[in-house]
């Protein structure tokens, strides 16, 4: 998937979010807040892994975060994180810093979009 195709993905999957809200009911806000609070922590862990050339660490953090993004309906961010996961799995961090920077920008937009579900 090219970067253009990736950026054409919806930022958020409203159907997934609506289904999650219906299932979680009163706990939806708590779950969403937990995800939003954890997102910067996981990005810092990925930054550290990339800076230390820790492909295995990047793979592990990205793998878990990718699943969380999917569960929260963060479609575009999930795909960026999948790319980072793949880079870690393949132990090829040559472009990881750039991918992480782009993923971080998508994460900021994702946070703002998800925050709207709490307002």
Q: Locate tokens 């937009």: which residue? A: 109
Say whether 1 sits in a helix, a strand or coil.
Answer: coil
Supply the pTM of this predicted model: 0.92
Domains in the chain and their CATH numbers? 10-115 (1.20.120.160)
Q: Compute how many other C-beta atoms are within 10 angstroms of the C-beta atom of residue 38.
A: 13
Nearest to 80, CA basis, from 56, 116, 55, 110: 110
The pLDDT tens digits along the chain (119 residues) read 777 677 788 999 999 999 999 999 999 999 999 999 999 999 999 999 999 999 999 999 999 999 999 999 999 999 999 999 999 999 999 999 999 999 999 999 999 999 999 87
């Amino acid at each position: 998937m090219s970067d253009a195709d990736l950026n054409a993905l919806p930022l958020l999957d409203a159907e997934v979010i609506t289904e999650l809200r219906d299932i979680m009911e009163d706990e939806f806000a708590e779950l969403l807040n937990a995800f939003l609070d954890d997102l910067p922590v996981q990005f810092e862990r990925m930054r550290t892994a990339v800076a230390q050339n820790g492909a295995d660490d990047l793979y592990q953090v990205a793998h878990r975060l990718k699943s969380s993004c999917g569960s929260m309906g963060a479609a575009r961010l999930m795909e960026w994180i999948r790319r980072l996961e793949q880079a870690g799995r393949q132990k090829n961090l040559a472009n990881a810093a750039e991918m992480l920077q782009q993923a971080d920008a998508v994460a900021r937009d994702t946070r703002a979009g998800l925050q709207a579900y709490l307002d």
